[in-house]
Structure 1
Amino acid sequence: MTIKTTHVGSLPRSKAVTDLVFAAERGEAIDGAEFDRVIGAAVDDIVARQVAAGIDLVSDGEMSKISYATYIKDRITGFDGDSPRTPPADLEDFPGFLTRQAASGGTPTYRRPKCVGPVAPKTLAPLEADLAHMAAAMASHAPAGGFMNAASPGVIALFQPNEHYATQDDYLEALAEAMRPEYEAIVAAGLILQLDSPDLGLGRHMMYKGRTDAEYLTLIGGHVDVLNHALRNVDASRVRMHVCWGNYEGPHTHDVEMGVILPTLMNAKPAGLLFETSNPRHQHDWNYFAEMIAIIPDDKILIPGVIDSTTNFVEHPRVVAERIERFVGIVGAERVIAGTDCGFSTFAGFGAVDPDIVWAKLKTLSEGAALASERLA
């Protein structure tokens, strides 16, 4: 049995790509043909580099997006202005560290428009361009498979608060319907749809901090319900969901335990689940999967992060193999794919890991998966 490899999605963008994306964000006049050319070339290069690193299931690296959640303002209606920044609860406990992070550029700055009007589909043109670039790159470099990221209704609500709808439930339902055409189009194009859903982990110490675990579970249960409804026309086997507690170096002392949220995650429709298990706060989480195996459906595919996305240490292949083997021992090799904790460039122009080291880490990911596969043979 060969263990396949993948990652969470975002990858380092070149200066040319970052400059263009931020110019568009500022509302500057952009030559559409030049933007398409630069992004298309970047996607081709990023797919080629993933294949060379031994990654089986590749992405477009989110080249055209300024961030994984706020990009939606160009695709659905109802968003404008900017939203106030609220730090995670763990950083509030360590204000000196929070100040140091902000002063050192550790906190990316970009506009997070809030919901100020009715949310509805606006245009699929940016998505169609992304799909065309991905199709061309995959045809040229022939990876084993490809996926494309899309924001979940819950993460959109996390970073872009509601100032229009009467209730949060109304807002989430509107987001789900507005994003549904994007979800369905990605699957129709032959790609795996990846829903980015850090609201199910990070939300505990951001949008819902101060709530009890019981209250939190009720709230994110609603997030899962609207996500499932948005996926009603999509085969679960063509969808995977990424859950995390925030892709930043910090104490993470308020992270909700995986054991608390795992039953809720298992109610989500996507067959694949990507989650953190490499950073120091979540290396123990494999125990919850072993202890709670009875609630994990037989068709769920586990995609644990076996390399960290916030440190420039390059993991040893043996460490990667050991992390993979823990999950193989729980659900079997046919239901494990080796992944990363989070993306490496969650925001354009920002990443804790040096771009050259990103590729070294992805190479060690594939080497570790190959070692685990040899041991399983």
Structure 2
Amino acid sequence: MSKILTTHVGSLPRIQKVVDFIFARENGEAYEEADFDKAMTEAVDETVRRQVEAGVDIVSDGETSKISYATYVKDRYTGFSGDSPRNAPADLKLFPSFLQRLAESGGTPQYARPMCTGEVRSKGQGELQKDIANLKAAMAKHGAKRGFMNAASPGVISLFLQNDHYPTRETYLSALADAMKAEYETIVDSGLDLQLDCPDLALSRHMLFNDLSDEEFVRIATGHVEALNHALRDVPHDRVRIHICWGNYEGPHVCDIDMAKVFPVLMGAKARYLLFETSNPRHAHEWTVFRDRKNEIPDDKILIPGVVDTTTNFVEHPELVAQRIERFTAIVGRDRVIAGSDCGFGTFAGFGAVDPEIAYAKLTALHDGAALATSRL
């Protein structure tokens, strides 16, 4: 009997030593590169060990060396300088007292968001190769059989690092796709699966495009997927994961676009594995979209619903995790479901709503719930 596998979206809490090194680099402070590299290697080793201990089947490096899942590209590609305008999500603007509370409590991450002010080109893959080597070494040491590495999609880069160089957004997306293509291929060529983080397909609706209609936004999101698919044209689709979300923050989320409206966009991505939110209170009901539109899910797609939340410190009961998994196995079958998380636990270095120890407790609950579902199917 094949078991239901477990994984997560990618980022995990970073220890303070790692955070200090990352922000020293971010702020242009002096540090020893050898010490930085040693800290990252040791931290990835521990991160993989803890994932294996928690029962995670498909592990990541926790995005340990990255300042964030999208803006890390400013350190690895040319063409970025200055600062991009900050725009709070539309739902937080509707509740200004809550937005102010977040700001005053340090509840919003602080990091550079330069604009694109020149041609986007790779500075070389030295940092990427270090990340790959660290993850593979840790997997070999701790017995993890399968791993993945995150990379930013062209669309999410355009969301956080806005264009002030290329004549149009479409031209910028095309340039980003061309620049990121080699990174995607290098990850897959290393033997790891590639995960593309694509909150631009949902989050950007209420961050950057809130003046458009839903229909107009869906056309833009479709263009983002077309750019991504172009970058993936030489990558086997069965080695690709894609993650869509509405923003990994505790907030009202009353401006989120419905999954039903972006469903065709998600299905159009050249990715076999689809990761999406189904645990938080704003999107938990949307498992019915997959049930009601089962015939629109291509037969080669594997669903990875988020069956644990990443914005609260509740640890889900394994029975609840199992119930969430079983909703999807009833739709596409047990062999086409992997249990995942709603989003990352360390989306930005040094910032996360979930206590680090509780994050791993949630991963353990993920494993226990998957085991329970397996035993019943």
The TM tier, using the shorter chain, reads over 0.9
> Partners in 2 of 1:370 and 1:229 — Cα distance?
38
1:113 is aligned to 114
- Measured against aligned partners, the alpha-carbon deviations of 1:71-99 in whole angstroms (never above 9, x if no partner) come to 00111110011112100010111111000
2:366 paired residue number: 365
Q: Does 1:27 align with 2:34?
A: no
Partner of 1:264: 265
Aligned twin of 2:167: 166
User: Scaled by the length of structure 1, what TM-score is found?
Assistant: 0.99
Q: Note the C-alpha offset of 1:185.
A: 0.3
Q: What stretches of structure 1 of length at least 5 have no aligned partner?
A: none
On the 8 A contact 2:139/2:145 being kept in 1, the answer is no
How many angstroms apart in 1 are the aligned matches of 2:3 and 2:274?
19
Aligned residue number for residue 226 of structure 1: 227
Counterpart of 1:317 in structure 2 is 318
Q: Tell me, which stretches of 5 or more residues in structure 2 are unaligned?
A: none
Distance 1:227 1:142 in 2: 32
Q: After the TM superposition, which residues 240-251 of structure 1 pair with which residues of structure 2 at under 5 Å, given as runs? A: 240-251=241-252
Q: Could you tell me how far apart the structure 2 residues matched to 1:214 and 1:241 are?
A: 22
Query: Partner letter of residue 148 of structure 1?
Result: M
Give the structure 1 partner of residue 103 of structure 2: 102
**Distance (Å, rounded) in 2 between the aligned partners of 1:344 and 1:8:** 8
Query: Does the aligned pair in 1 maintain the 2:274–2:302 contact within 8 Å?
Result: yes
User: d(CA) in 1 for partners of 2:89 and 2:36?
Assistant: 35
- Tell me the equivalent position of 1:3: 4
Q: TM-score, normalised by structure 2?
A: 0.99
Deviation string 1:151-179 (CA, Å, 9 cap, x unpaired) is 00000000111000110000000001111
Q: Deviations over 1:103-125 (max 9, x none)?
A: 11110111111100111222111
**3-state secondary structure, aligned to 1:246:** coil
SS at match of 1:306: strand
Paired position in structure 2 for 1:58: 59
Deviation at 1:29, TM superposition (A): 2.1
1:286 maps to 287
- The percent identity for this pair of structures is 62
Deviations 1:282-303 (A, max 9, x none): 0011000011111110000100
Following superposition, which runs of at least 4 residues in structure 1 exceed 6 angstroms of deviation?
none
What CA distance in whole angstroms lies between the structure 1 residues aligned with 2:215 and 2:258? 13
Verify: 1:153 aligned to 2:154, yes or no: yes
CA drift at 1:144:
2.8
Deviation at 1:216, TM superposition (A): 0.6
Opposite residue 324 of structure 2, the aligned amino acid is R
Please report how far the alpha carbon of residue 210 of structure 1 lies from its aligned counterpart in structure 2 after TM superposition.
1.6
- What SS does the aligned partner of 1:172 have? helix
**How far off its partner does 1:143 sit?**
1.1
Tell me how far apart the structure 1 counterparts of residues 256 and 52 of structure 2 sit (CA, whole Å).
34
Contact 2:150 2:194 in 1 (8 A): yes
